[in-house]
A and B are shown apart, each in its own frame.
Chain A
Amino acid sequence: MLNKMVGIIDDIGGVTLFMKEVFRTGIKTPCTFSEIMDQTWKVTIQSLSTTAMAGFFVGAIMTVQFTLQVSQFGALGYLGGLATSGTIREVGPLLIAFMLSGKVGAFTSAELGTMRVTEQIDAIKCLGANPIQEIILPRFVGIILSSFFLLTIGLFMSIWGGLLMGIVFSGISIEEYVRHIPNIVSPVSIVTGLFKCFVFAFVLASICTYKGYNATGGAKGVGKAVVDTAVFTMIGIVIADWVTSAIGESVMELFLK
């Protein structure tokens, strides 16, 4: 138990120092714009279909859940606004983060881990390049940027999913569903969703690049890096969600009001 605690503290320290190195490299010797765009494109394409599908069904689930509540008060007209606001502020960013964690986090960690154990990272150094600049920075920024694209697509699909359920399950029209969306989905909701999306993507990108880059011990080590990435990103995202919900929103509302 004590060893595990020490291991976790060691990991937190390791990620912090690794991030310091990433930022230092990003400021002193940034990677090229095309490298970032290349990674952003890869990550977005990798997760596009699953995010879109999951977004659609999350919208549908939110509508079903809200229908059960608001129909008791005869407020079905607010269904679209409530479901969309809930998705933008909370469920959407969380969903995108979990999707990215499962697909992109595991993939990035395995890719970097394999590069480490097959000495490709050492080779980059020996050939006169900085591995942080060459392989970490583009992936790190790419994951964060792509999360915004995926959030937009996921939200768009969730509105369609919610709309379909609104018509089929709740028996309301399209006009009724969309009428209160602009009233309930405020700029605060959108900024909150985007901020959460950024924080979750940051947590994911730091953990998966750190774990992959520092993998040791051959195939077993790569496997361990991938499992650690999955576990730590899930825990990290949930903790980050709590922090941003508890502190972030009140701070943001203070600034926006």
Chain B
Amino acid sequence: MSDAQVQFINVIKSFGDRTILKGISFEAKQGEILFILGTSGTGKSVLLKNLVGLLRPDTGEIWVDGEEVSQISEEKYFDIRKKCGMVFQHPALFDSLTVFENVAFGVRKHYDYPEEKIKEIVKKCLKLVHLDDVEEKLPQDISYGMQKRVSLARTVAISPKILLFDEPTTGLDPVTTNAVNQLILDLSKTLKTTSLVVSHDMHCALAIADRIIVLDKGNIVDQGTPAELKASKHPLVKEFLMEATTHA
């Protein structure tokens, strides 16, 4: 085990006779923003779900903060999930709970804090994502962009060491997309977390990533810093770069 906070070693994951991850190996160091890029259906989300135990790999090792987690029990995953906060592709807020209760949900489950402390954490997290006066609203009463930010606040509230973002800007307009990207950057720097961002937006990746991994059909086809990726000869990376230049 190296000094990496997250490490995948030869991870293979199949669904029936379809192999989605074909021996993935990579690592993310503490405090790093690592973008995982790829076209739809290449196994980016499957990769994140393997990390938080929503899916289990067929073979290979997954190390989180010095602990091998690929085969541990569901009960033991409780502590791992406290370290890994995941922001889903959908806001995934609980419809029947207010914004306050949504953000407080994970805190109540993981910590035995008094109500005053929980209120303080919720306020602080909502402030981090630039939201005010929404505590008592239901998710359906706020815009989609705001729901995404509440989802981010809910994840940050449990004080994870590692933040996982599954296509955080999908379905958002360009202005909100930029705002969310800036938030990812700010949160990573403020909270000193390691961030793994699954995306297909090379433009955002070049702007905020420390390192980028490009996935294609379950394999890593290229990786490096944004500067290194810009010089890549791989056709898929070139296509992504061309797309990023068009949208810049």
Contacts and interface: CB of A to CB of B under 8 A. Distances in A.
A128 B110 contact: yes
Interface string B82-95: 10111011101111
Interface in B129-157: 154-155
B52 A126 contact: yes
Given A127-B154, A127-B158, A119 B52 contact: no
Nearest to A128: B109
B54 A127 contact: no
Contacts of B93: 120, 123
A127 B160 CA distance: 10
A125 interface: yes
Contacts of A120: 92-95
A119 B82 contact: no
Interface string A112-144: 000000111011111111000000000000000
Given A125-B54, A125-B81, A127-B158, A118 B109 contact: no
A83 to B, nearest CB: 42
A122 B92 contact: yes
Contacts of A124: 94
Given A125-B54, A127-B154, A119 B92 contact: yes
Contacts of A123: 86, 88, 92-94, 154
B90 A118 contact: yes
B105 interface: yes
Given A118-B92, A119-B89, A120-B94, A126 B54 contact: yes
Determine the interface band of chain B, counting residues with CB < 8 A from chain A: 20 to 34
B108 to A, nearest CB: 9
B113 interface: no
A126 B110 contact: no
B85 to A, nearest CB: 7
Interface residues of A, number: 11
A1 B93 CA distance: 41
Contact of A122 (B78, B88, B106, B158): B88
A119 B52 CA distance: 14
Contacts of A118: 90, 92
Nearest to B78: A128
B54 A128 contact: no
B90 A127 contact: no
Contacts of B49: 122
A35 to B, nearest CB: 12
CB-CB nearest 6 A-B residue pairs? A127-B106, A128-B109, A123-B92, A119-B92, A119-B88, A126-B86
Given A120-B93, A120-B94, A122-B86, 20 more contacts: A118-B90, A118-B92, A119-B88, A119-B92, A120-B92, A122-B88, A122-B92, A123-B92, A123-B93, A125-B81, A126-B81, A126-B86, A126-B155, A127-B81, A127-B106, A127-B158, A128-B78, A128-B81, A128-B82, A128-B106
22 contacts: A119-B92, A120-B92, A122-B49, A122-B54, A122-B88, A123-B86, A123-B92, A123-B93, A123-B94, A123-B154, A124-B94, A125-B52, A125-B53, A125-B54, A126-B81, A126-B85, A126-B155, A127-B105, A127-B106, A128-B78, A128-B106, A129-B105
